[in-house]
Amino acid sequence: MKTHLLGKNGPEVSEVGFGAMGISDIYATSARKDDAGGEATIRAALDAGINLINTGDFYGMGHNEMLVGRAIAGRRDQVVLSVKFGALRDPKGLWLGHDCRPAAVKNFCAYSLQRLGVDHIDLYQPARLDHDVPIEETVGSIAQLIREGKVKYLGLSEVTPDILRRAHAVHPVTALEIEYSLSTRFIEGEILSVARELGVGIVAYGALSRGLLSGKLDGKFERGDFRSITPRYMAANLQANLQLVETLADIAESKGCTPAQLAIAWVLAQGDDIVPLIGTSNSTRLKENLGALNVRLSPADIALLDTAFPEGTFHGDRYPTAAMKFVAG
């Protein structure tokens, strides 16, 4: 496993990170009933050399943080712990908005430290922009946590270039967590340009477009799986997207790898400043995804993929329509 700095002045991280969300939330309900399996998958990721572990205080309403805390117990020095905060949910898990007021930031951090069983968080970031709170105030409160030793580095998630610049002017931003894959390429314009200008690393979630690029989705989702109400994975959109994935599978076969491995390898090939998250609750899937590290793409391979999957090729929004107002930065 190769390592490199996350951003210009950030921690040294593995070339891929582990996204723990799906163990507790959003996808299959069966995964949420297997805490032991989830913890084992996280430990397998650590054993494989992955050191960036990504979670959020609202994943399973605290469940994910407690699970991650148990999984990394006794191995804290091997982990760069990334935590998102600020998303609000009701007891049924429905999204209510965001709270990034300075007092709330300190409160969220205190609870996260307790649930994770650690004395500091390495990378701390608001899950989305709170449009009622100036980003300068939110960043200022995180900067105070950094001065107190409770947080080491500032991150952001899904924000515009303007917000990124404003935040960076208050305190250096180490990383921007944002969706990026062959099916979601909107960052390749101004967002990626500004991040590189400022020396901000990219933590790319959704490298497999929530399983779509694995070639294994069939549209049959468990009860509670948010993809069942998300345009990209519904009805005619899904069928059109699965036809695109067949093209990806053909290219992968010619490379001697799986579609998932090819999709992850493509993200890796976009630059050392981009760290894709591998999110899975299954150790077998983890092993397959790690095989992407052995896939070498030539300039011709990348050109072929870029031609086959330019931005806008895939059909449907990446979040449920009702949730879009909470997603946009």
Q: Is residue 238 part of a domain?
A: no
DSSP 8-state symbol, 302: H
Q: Is residue 252 part of a domain?
A: no
Q: Tell me the residue length of the chain.
A: 329
Which one of 59, 124, 180, 205 is the catalytic residue?
A: 59
Percent of the chain with pLDDT over 90: 81
CATH number at residue 84: 3.20.20.100
Q: What pLDDT, on the 0 to 100 scale, is given for residue 179? A: 97
Q: What pLDDT, on the 0 to 100 scale, is given for residue 216? A: 87
Residue in the structure block whose two tokens are 């609750």: 281
Count how many domains the chain has. 1
Q: What pLDDT, on the 0 to 100 scale, is given for residue 27? A: 66
Q: What pLDDT, on the 0 to 100 scale, is given for residue 324? A: 46
DSSP 8-state symbol, 55: E
Its pTM stands at: 0.94
Q: Is the pLDDT of residue 221 over 90?
A: no
Q: What pLDDT, on the 0 to 100 scale, is given for residue 92? A: 78
Cα four-point dihedral sign 49, 179, 186, 328: negative
Q: Is residue 37 part of a domain?
A: yes
Joined together, the tokens standing for residue 59 give: 């994943």
* Residue 109 confidence class, pLDDT cut points 50, 70, 90: very high
* Residue 17 confidence class, pLDDT cut points 50, 70, 90: very high
Domain range spanning residue 163?
Answer: 3-213+265-295
Residue 296 to residue 301: CA distance in whole angstroms: 9
Q: Is residue 182 part of a domain?
A: yes
Question: What are 139-187's pLDDT values in tens digits?
Answer: 999 999 999 999 999 999 999 999 999 999 999 999 999 999 999 999 9
Average pLDDT over residues 238-257: 96
Catalytic (active site) residue 233: no
- The whole-chain average pLDDT of the chain stands at 93
Question: What are 277-317's pLDDT values in tens digits?
Answer: 998 877 888 999 999 999 999 999 999 999 999 999 999 99
H or E, element range at 67: helix 63-72
**Amino acid at position 164, single letter:** L
Q: What pLDDT, on the 0 to 100 scale, is given for residue 173? A: 98
Q: What pLDDT, on the 0 to 100 scale, is given for residue 261? A: 97
Q: Is residue 161 part of a domain?
A: yes
SS3 308: helix
Q: Is residue 282 part of a domain?
A: yes
Residue 56 makes CB contacts below 8 A (sequence gap 6+) with 21, 64, 65, 83, 84, 85, 87, 127
Q: Is the pLDDT of residue 101 over 50?
A: yes
Region of 61 (left: φ > 0; alpha: ψ -120 to 50; beta: rest) is: left
Q: Is residue 243 part of a domain?
A: no
Q: Is the pLDDT of residue 103 over 70?
A: yes
Question: What are 50-100's pLDDT values in tens digits?
Answer: 999 999 999 988 999 999 999 999 999 999 999 999 999 888 777 889 999
Q: What are phi and psi of 148, to 5 degrees?
A: -85, -10
Q: Is residue 191 part of a domain?
A: yes
Joined together, the tokens standing for residue 118 give: 């650690």
Residue 55 to residue 217: CA distance in whole angstroms: 24
